[in-house]
C-alpha cells in the first residue's frame, strides 16, 4: 500500500510572511493519519520558519533543490547536511526548470539523489518529456532513461524510498494536461523501468506523482489511476484553500 503524497511546489513565489501565514492557515486542516502526506516545497529562505511552524502537525517541508556536496566552496548553494539539520524532510531533485535553465543533467540528478538519501532526505525526482519528444514518440524512452540514470547505483532499499514525479514539460504551467489515462500509462512505464533497474518489489513500493497543471478540478481523476500515487503541484498550490482541496482530493 503506497501512501499518497500531495506536494505543493511554490517555486520562486511568496515572501516569508506569506509563507508562514499559508502554513498557519493549512496546518490544522490537513487530515491526520496515514492516508495522505501533505508536503510544502518552499524556497530555502523560508524553510527554517516553516519547519518550526509545521512542528507537531501533519505538514511536511521540502526544499526545491540542493547541492550534492556536504560543504565547500559552492557560492549560493545549499547543502543536504544543512537541510537535514533544519528539519527538512523532502527535496525536489531535477525539476525540468532546473534541467532547462540551470544545466542539470541525469548525472547531476544522480549525484544529488545519492546525497539526499545519504543525509536522510527523501528525494522527489522529476522526470518528463518535452513536447518535441512527445510528438516524436520518445516519451517512454525519455522517462526510462531519466529514471535509470537518475537512480543509478542506489540499492533496492534506497530506491524504494524515492518519490518520482512524472511531469510532462509541456503540461507545466500551461493549463494543458495529458488525459488521466495517458498520464497513468507513462507512470506505468516509469514503474516498469524501476522493476527492470531494481526489482518488482522496489517498483511497487515507489510512489509516483503526476505533475503539470494539476488543480482541485482534476486531482481526483488523476488520483483514481492505478499508477498515480500523488501530485506535484505548482500554481494551484499557492493559495491555502486550493492546497487543502488538493490534499483532500488525494485523501479519497
Ligand atoms: O513542480 C510543479 C510543476 O512544475 C507543475 O507546475 P504547475 O502545477 O503550475 O503546472
Residue ranges of the annotated binding site for substrate are 9-11, 173, 213, 234-235
Of the residues 67, 95, 114, 119, only one is catalytic, namely 95
Q: What is the number of structural domains in the chain?
A: 1
Does residue 203 line the site of ligand 1, with CB under 6 A? no
* pLDDT tens sequence across 112-165: 999 999 999 999 999 999 999 999 999 999 999 999 999 999 999 999 999 999
Question: Interface pTM (ipTM) of the complex?
Answer: 0.99
3-class secondary structure, 73:
coil
What whole-number distance in Å separates Cα of residue 234 and Cα of residue 193?
A: 26
Residues 12-18 have a mean pLDDT of 98
**Ligand 1 center–CA 72 separation, angstroms:** 31
CB-count burial class (<10 Å; 0-12, 13-18, 19+) for 252: exposed
Mutate to test the pocket of ligand 1, among 12, 62, 172 (most ligand atoms within 8 A of CB): 172
Which ranges of 72-215 does DSSP label H, i.e. alpha helix?
A: 80-86, 96-101, 106-118, 131-135, 139-150, 156-159, 180-197, 200-205
Cα separation values, 20 from 3, 13, 120, 233, Å: 26, 13, 25, 19
> Is the pLDDT reported for residue 252 higher than 80?
no
We report the CATH number of the domain holding residue 208 as 3.20.20.70
For atom 6 of ligand 1, the residue with the nearest CA is 234
Domain holding 239, by residue range, is: 5-251
Residue 96 · residue 172 · CB < 8 Å: yes
C-alpha cell at 18: 506569506
Task: Please give the pLDDT value at position 34.
Answer: 65
Q: Cell 489515462: give the residue.
A: 181
Q: Is-catalytic flag, 185?
A: no
Amino acid at each position: 500500500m503506497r501512501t499518497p503524497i500531495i506536494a505543493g511546489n511554490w517555486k520562486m513565489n511568496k515572501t516569508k510572511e506569506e509563507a508562514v501565514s499559508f502554513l498557519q492557515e493549512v496546518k490544522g486542516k490537513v487530515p491526520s493519519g496515514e492516508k495522505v502526506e501533505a508536503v510544502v516545497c518552499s524556497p530555502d529562505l523560508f524553510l527554517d520558519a516553516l519547519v518550526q511552524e509545521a512542528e507537531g502537525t501533519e505538514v511536511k517541508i521540502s526544499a526545491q533543490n540542493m547541492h550534492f556536496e556536504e560543504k565547500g566552496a559552492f557560492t549560493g548553494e545549499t547543502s543536504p547536511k544543512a537541510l537535514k539539520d533544519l528539519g527538512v524532510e523532502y527535496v525536489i531533485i531535477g525539476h525540468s526548470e532546473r534541467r532547462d535553465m540551470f544545466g542539470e543533467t541525469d548525472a547531476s540528478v544522480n549525484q544529488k539523489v545519492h546525497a539526499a538519501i545519504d543525509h536522510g532526505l527523501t528525494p522527489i525526482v522529476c522526470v518528463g518529456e518535452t513536447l518535441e519528444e512527445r510528438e516524436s514518440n520518445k516519451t517512454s524512452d525519455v522517462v526510462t532513461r531519466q529514471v535509470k540514470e537518475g537512480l543509478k547505483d542506489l540499492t533496492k532499499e534506497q530506491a524504494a524510498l524515492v518519490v518520482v514525479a512524472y511531469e510532462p514539460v509541456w503540461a507545466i504551467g500551461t493549463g494543458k494536461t495529458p488525459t488521466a489515462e495517458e498520464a497513468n500509462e507513462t507512470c506505468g512505464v516509469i514503474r516498469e523501468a524501476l522493476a527492470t533497474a531494481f526489482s518488482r518489489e522496489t517498483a511497487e513500493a515507489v510512489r509516483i506523482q503526476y505533475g503539470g497543471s494539476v488543480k482541485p478540478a482534476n486531482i481526483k481523476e488523476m488520483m483514481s489511476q492505478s499508477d498515480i500515487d500523488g501530485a506535484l503541484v505548482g500554481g494551484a498550490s499557492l493559495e491555502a484553500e486550493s492546497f487543502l482541496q488538493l490534499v483532500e482530493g488525494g485523501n479519497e
